[in-house]
């Protein structure tokens, strides 16, 4: 494995919230191609994190691990995959939310315990990680990373109990926050979801025997899984070859807190969560926008890619034709080559080009999924104007983001959020749009098809659990350079 120098790490200048993580777990009775299945599952979850990827495999006695910085297809070469043989496997594709993107924080974490090998991969964020980390240090544990996932792994390793299920059940109540976990032991894979249900996690039956769990149903569909079902909040699911055992270890929270942003931005359009197809929800977001903030225009364009369904919905509801106005270079955000100063000054042009033929002389409605720091919206408006648009009306498929997320989404701090310190009119002026409108909270929830059961703290500041102990992303970096 090679460490990626800081100067060569991918740049991500997108104004949208940064992707989270994707987890995958597989157990089969025959052990044929389990690592390959995990690879393809992670490939389907690549949109959830592009910093690093890892796979851990167990043959019933011994666990092997390969992980490195980079995209899934680059990390797992045939040479890297060859030693990963066994019956049980977990995988992870990462965007860091607690701890930096340093090599030491790449998941899964694999440790040797008195009960055998243990590997853990995690999507989410534990808000009381600092307290739990301090307790481990006071008990004499040495920590090698700055991630809350290492804290989870060491707590499990030190827990009492005859089985890993018992150790999980004893440790679960200590974790406060968002966690969808996959855990690899010598002869099984265990999936765990927090009692609030912040992050998605689904279970499916593999076509040739065994079972799989994944952050999104799109990964299970890629593997040909059937009988797909959501892992319930507070549930522990054990995969052991052809067997699957489900146990409600913790009662679900009185008020569930699924992340609305899974529908707005994170999840792949073909995924299904809580009974809703993501693409259809995004279309309804656009329809609600058209009902709430119609404007006379000639064309509706999306900011690709997550806003495409919403632009279709806005067009269908408003009667304004839909067309492509911006073409996205899907690789520039992952390049390992720093642009020249001249190209940096062109900013958004590195990532988007305008289709002049579709914009010249047109009044344009530009649909985007969110506006976070406000660094991209202004250059995009200018790009569309420079392509000949006579008016640019910006419509956002969610309410203004005014508060930071503490449950696994890197939006920055409250002070980084443009809507946290500017009015809508001030934002409109700042980005240079002719008009700007955000979808209301009620409109967003109508599109989701629920009045409650979702976390909307980034819009309202009303967190479903106390976040007093929440730490900044890099708060554990001081001790380990």
Quick one: CA dihedral 275, 266, 45, 355, positive or negative?
positive
SS3 347: helix
Kindly write down the DSSP assignment for every residue of 178-204, as one continuous string.
Answer: EEEEEEEETTEEEEEE-TT--S--EEE
Residues 6+ apart with CB under 8 A from 318: 290, 294, 300, 365
Residue 478 in contact with residue 327, Cβ under 8 Å? no
DSSP letter, residue 73? H
Kindly write down the DSSP assignment for every residue of 332-343, as one continuous string.
Answer: GGG-SSPPPHHH
Peptide bond into 305 cis (omega under 30): yes
| Separation between Cα atoms, residue 310 and residue 72, nearest integer Å | 29
| Separation between Cα atoms, residue 348 and residue 343, nearest integer Å | 10
| Separation between Cα atoms, residue 119 and residue 264, nearest integer Å | 31
Written as six digits, the tokens of 133 are 């980390």
Give the C-alpha distances (Å, rounded to integers) separating 160 from 156, 167, 409.
Answer: 8, 6, 32
Residues 6+ apart with CB under 8 A from 288: 313, 439, 440, 443, 444, 446, 447
Q: Which of 21, 405, 455, 458 is an active site residue?
A: 21
Written as six digits, the tokens of 150 are 């290492």
Residue 179 in contact with residue 152, Cβ under 8 Å? yes
Instruction: Tell me if residue 458 is catalytic.
Output: no
Q: Catalytic positions, please?
A: 21
């Amino acid at each position: 494995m090679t460490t990626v120098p800081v100067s060569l790490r991918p740049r991500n200048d997108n104004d949208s919230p940064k992707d989270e993580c994707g987890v995958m777990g597989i157990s089969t009775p025959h052990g044929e191609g389990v690592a390959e299945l995990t690879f393809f599952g992670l490939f389907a979850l690549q949109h959830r994190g592009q910093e690093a990827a890892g796979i851990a495999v167990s043959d019933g006695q011994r666990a092997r691990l390969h992980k490195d910085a980079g995209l899934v297809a680059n990390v797992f070469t045939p040479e890297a995959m060859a030693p990963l043989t066994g019956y049980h496997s977990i995988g992870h594709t990462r965007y860091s939310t607690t701890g930096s993107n340093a090599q030491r924080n790449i998941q899964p974490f694999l440790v040797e315990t008195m009960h055998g090998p243990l590997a853990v991969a995690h999507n989410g964020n534990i808000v009381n990680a600092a307290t739990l980390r301090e307790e481990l240090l006071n008990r004499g544990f040495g920590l090698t990373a700055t991630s809350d996932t290492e804290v989870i792994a060491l707590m499990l390793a030190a827990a009492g109990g005859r089985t890993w299920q018992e150790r999980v059940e004893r440790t679960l109540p200590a974790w406060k926050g968002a966690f969808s976990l996959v855990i690899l032991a010598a002869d099984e894979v265990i999936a765990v979801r927090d009692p609030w249900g912040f992050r998605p996690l689904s279970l499916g039956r593999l076509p040739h025997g065994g079972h799989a769990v994944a952050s999104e149903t799109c990964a299970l569909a890629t593997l040909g899984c059937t009988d797909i079902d959501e892992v319930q909040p507070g549930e522990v699911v054990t995969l052991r070859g052809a067997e699957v055992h489900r146990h409600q270890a913790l009662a679900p929270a009185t008020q569930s807190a699924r992340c609305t942003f899974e529908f707005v931005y994170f999840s792949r359009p073909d995924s299904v969560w809580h009974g809703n197809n993501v693409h259809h929800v995004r279309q309804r977001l656009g329809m609600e926008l058209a009902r709430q903030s119609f404007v006379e225009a000639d064309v509706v364009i999306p900011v690709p890619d997550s806003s495409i369904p919403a632009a279709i919905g806005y067009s269908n509801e408003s009667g304004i034709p839909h067309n492509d106005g911006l073409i996205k270079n899907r690789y520039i955000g992952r390049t390992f080559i720093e642009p020249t100063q001249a190209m940096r000054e062109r900013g958004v042009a590195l990532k988007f080009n305008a289709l002049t033929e579709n914009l010249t002389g047109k009044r344009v409605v530009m649909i985007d999924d969110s506006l976070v720091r406000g660094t991209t919206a202004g250059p995009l408006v200018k790009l569309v104007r420079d392509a000949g648009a006579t008016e640019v009306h910006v419509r956002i498929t969610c309410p203004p983001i005014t508060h930071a997320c503490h449950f696994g989404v890197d939006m920055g701090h409250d002070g980084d959020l443009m809507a946290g310190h500017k009015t809508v009119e001030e934002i409109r002026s700042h980005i240079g749009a002719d008009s700007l409108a955000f979808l209301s909270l009620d409109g967003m929830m109508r599109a989701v098809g629920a009045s409650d059961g979702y976390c909307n703290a980034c819009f309202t500041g009303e967190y479903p659990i106390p976040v007093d102990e929440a730490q900044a992303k890099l708060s554990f970096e001081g001790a380990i350079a």
